């Protein structure tokens, strides 16, 4: 087992540059930072910097919050190299946590860490700590409070397993390669508890799903009145409101779909889920180191409580403690939030269907009005034809052509009346023909 670094995570960042004092306006109270191991509180408060020789802020440094297993936290500003060295992740993973992929969703498993990028929650989770990016954002504060409350009451004794006395009472020792390792007597008697990394992942999924559900509820509350108003009155203002509503719905559906697809991708691949068991891999490495190290033949290596233990009694140490194919706990966790996201997605699809139905209804209304306009235009055309016939006859008699009708006294009123009656009759005949051909409504 290697020696622990005597410096805390805060001082790993301060070795590259001096942390500036943060005093943002109107921010919630922050927890006290962890005191560095091996240094006095005064030295930690000074940040390890020499007075009068403050260094310039390192390029690319961003604000992070670190949580340990007991819920203690600290705020630090670190650059990329420090995070990469601390978490053991490739540099491209930090690019995923950058602003370019602000609304992407990724849950990536690495050798010693898990990279979580779910909406506004961007974190690097190991088996012992969480590094949360931009913890002072308004959307991230509920996740910080929830994580702090969940980890606050966890004591180091519960996190690192039972003591030697409890080991002898509830466990029996098996010798493997000169080392004595505890083996549980029964898996049913142990309290089931998710590993640290899955507790963080569960909190992240819960906060993200709650935020998306709240956004969908706001969308539903705003959508139905706007759509009902559009159905009653088709106006430019109402159409603009619906257009804005559809844009918000499309963006929200894409965000929900990204988180849902990422969870579905993990559920479809047991190997990817097995790589997310960071505590299991850490304990596995500790066991291999304990078995391979022969310096102390009778040392007892206490193992922390695992979320799931093999119920079969076998001689293989790894198969008894660490079943790499056992991903039931994570699978149940992901399935619960997958169903919740699927329900959220169905709500958005219901709103979209309501929008489509409203648009169909509006289109039917517009088609009906268009048909009425066409019928009116056809009626006016028939009337114009009848009037044009009367005008034609009147124009013919208006010419200076000799005619015996000009000499008949009182013929004007009779002629005009007869011509008008003929025009009306022509109008009715053509209109009746149009109705007979069903060109006009009844």
Q: What is the pLDDT of residues 57-83, one digit of tens each?
A: 444 688 899 888 887 888 988 888 888
Distance CA 314, CA 310 (A): 9
Residue 348, C-beta contacts closer than 8 angstroms, at least 6 positions apart = 216, 219, 249, 252, 253, 256
H/E element, 369: helix 328-397
The pLDDT of residue 227 is 92
- pLDDT of 396 over the 90 cut: no
Q: What is the pLDDT of residue 312?
A: 37
Contact present, 94 and 188 (Cβ < 8 Å): no
Q: Which two tokens stand for residue 118?
A: 């779910």
Residue with tokens 């066409």: 374
- From CA 351, how far away is CA 248, in angstroms rounded? 11
Position 94 pLDDT exceeds 90: no
pLDDT of residue 380: 94
Q: What is the pLDDT of residue 241?
A: 93
Tens digits of residue pLDDT in 7-47: 555 555 555 554 444 444 444 444 444 433 333 334 333 34
Least confident range from 73-82, 242-251, 365-374, 420-429: namely 73-82
Instruction: Tally Cβ neighbours within 10 Å of residue 119.
Output: 21
pLDDT of residue 11: 57
What's the pLDDT score for residue 162?
40
What span, in angstroms and rounded, lies between the C-alpha atoms of 11 and 389? 101
Read off the pLDDT of each residue in 346-366 and give the average, rounded to a whole number. 93
Of 55-64, 110-119, 146-155, 226-235, the poorest mean pLDDT is in 55-64
What confidence tens digit (pLDDT) does each residue in 81-91 have? 888 888 888 88
Does 353 have pLDDT greater than 50? yes
Looking at residue 62, its pLDDT comes to 84
Identify the three-state secondary structure at position 261: helix
Residue 80 φ then ψ, to 5°: -65, -40
Q: Where do the CATH 2.40.128.330 domains begin and end in the chain? A: 1-38+55-156
| DSSP state at residue 300 | B
Quick one: average pLDDT of 317-329? 57
Fold assignment, 1-38+55-156: Lipocalin (2.40.128)
**Hey, what are 75's tokens?**
């705020």
pLDDT score, position 350: 94
Query: Has this prediction a pTM greater than 0.75?
Result: no
| pLDDT given for residue 292 in this prediction | 67
């Amino acid at each position: 087992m290697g020696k622990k670094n005597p410096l805390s995570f805060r001082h790993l960042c301060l070795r590259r540059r001096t942390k500036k004092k943060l005093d943002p306006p109107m921010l919630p109270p922050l927890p006290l930072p962890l005191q560095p191991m091996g240094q006095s509180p005064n030295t930690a408060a000074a940040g390890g910097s020499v007075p009068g020789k403050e260094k310039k802020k390192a390029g690319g440094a961003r604000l992070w919050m670190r949580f340990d297993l007991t819920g203690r936290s600290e705020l630090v500003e670190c650059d990329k190299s420090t995070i990469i060295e601390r978490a053991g992740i490739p540099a491209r993973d930090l690019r995923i946590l950058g602003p370019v992929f602000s609304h992407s969703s990724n849950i990536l498993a690495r050798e010693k860490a898990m990279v979580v990028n779910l909406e506004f929650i961007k974190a690097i989770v190991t088996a012992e700590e969480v590094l949360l990016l931009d913890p002072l954002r308004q959307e991230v504060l509920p996740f910080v409070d929830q994580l702090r409350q969940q980890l606050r009451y966890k004591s180091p004794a519960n996190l690192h397993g039972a003591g030697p006395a409890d080991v002898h009472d509830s466990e029996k020792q098996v010798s493997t390669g000169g080392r004595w390792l505890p083996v549980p007597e029964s898996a049913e008697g142990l309290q089931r508890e998710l590993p640290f990394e899955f507790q963080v992942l569960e909190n992240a999924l819960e906060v993200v799903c709650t935020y998306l559900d709240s956004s969908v509820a706001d969308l539903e509350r705003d959508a139905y009145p706007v759509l009902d108003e559009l159905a009653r009155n088709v106006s430019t203002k109402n159409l603009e409101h619906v257009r804005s509503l559809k844009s918000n719905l499309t963006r929200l559906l894409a965000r929900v779909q990204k988180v849902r697809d990422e969870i579905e991708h993990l559920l479809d691949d047991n190997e990817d889920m097995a790589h997310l068991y960071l505590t299991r891999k850490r304990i596995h490495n500790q066991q291999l180191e304990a078995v391979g190290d022969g310096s102390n033949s009778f040392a007892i290596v206490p193992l922390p409580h695992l979320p799931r233990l093999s119920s079969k009694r076998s001689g293989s140490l790894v198969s008894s403690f660490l079943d790499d194919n056992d991903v039931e706990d994570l699978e149940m966790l992901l399935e619960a939030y997958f169903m919740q996201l699927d329900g959220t997605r169905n709500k958005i699809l219901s709103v979209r269907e309501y929008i489509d139905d409203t648009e169909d209804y509006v289109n039917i209304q517009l088609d009906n009005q268009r048909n009425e306009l066409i019928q009116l235009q056809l009626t006016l055309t028939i009337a114009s034809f009848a009037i044009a016939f009367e005008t034609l006859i009147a124009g013919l008699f208006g010419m200076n052509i000799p005619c015996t009708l000009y000499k008949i006294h009182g013929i004007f009123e009779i002629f005009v009346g007869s011509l008008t009656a003929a025009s009306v009759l022509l109008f009715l005949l053509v209109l009746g023909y149009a109705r007979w051909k069903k060109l006009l409504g009844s």
